[in-house]
Amino acid sequence: MKILIMLCVLGFSAQSFAEPVLPSDSVYQVGGVWKTQDDQLIRLESLAGKPQLIAFIFTGCSNACPVIVESMKRIERKIPLQKRKEIGFVLVTLTPELDSPKSLKAFAKKREINTGWQVLRGNSELVRTLSNTLNGRYKVIADDDIAHSNTVTLLNAQGQIDMQASGTLTGIKPIMDEIERKYSR
């Protein structure tokens, strides 16, 4: 009887400390180890637990990427200061072979990105898988140039796609409205 009780207690303890199970349609199912602009290793699923606004960029981009970043910064400014930690902001480089953590950090500084944002690089396979999972497309068109979707995605706390919109300054309005509705009160 004591053994049975001990097994029940151990089973309950292990279950209560286990990682939460992600839904099958969570983008965090992509998994993998990613490197931040601060040269820290993180697992993609570590972003779970709060909504995330995510987009793809590359540091050599002079067209769409600065607009995407500005659009995301506009959204961030709409969120009251006391609530900004309730949503994460993530940029993922499409050129991990070119964008080192050092260049990602320089990009973040140049674009005046809040230090709470994650700027990530994974290996090429992880980046492609995450892009496909988020319905994004990209193609190398020249040595250091990439044609890519300018989509910004709002993920819920479990990593499921809540909403997607164009990362242009006007196209981002539906996400701005949704975040303002959820986080401005």
Cα distance between residue 82 and residue 101, in whole Å? 29
Helical (H) or strand (E) element with 154: strand 151-155
pLDDT class of 3 with cuts at 50, 70, 90: low
- Comparing 17 with 28, which gets the higher pLDDT? 28
pLDDT of residue 155: 97
pLDDT of residue 140: 75
Average pLDDT for 90-107: 94
Q: Give the pLDDT confidence of 101-154 residue by residue, as tens digits.
A: 999 999 999 999 998 999 999 999 999 999 999 988 887 777 677 777 889 999
Q: Give the pLDDT confidence of 21-60 residue by residue, as tens digits.
A: 889 999 999 999 999 999 999 999 999 999 999 999 989 8
pLDDT of residue 142: 73
Cα distance between residue 97 and residue 87, in whole Å? 29
pLDDT class of 185 with cuts at 50, 70, 90: low
Q: pTM for this one? A: 0.86
Q: For residue 48, give every residue at least 6 positions away whose Cβ sits within 8 Å of its Cβ, in sequence order, or none.
A: 20, 22, 26, 28, 157, 158, 159
E strands, the chain, in order: 33-36, 41-43, 52-57, 88-93, 118-121, 138-142, 145-148, 151-155, 161-166
User: Which superfamily is assigned to 23-183 in CATH?
Assistant: Glutaredoxin (3.40.30.10)
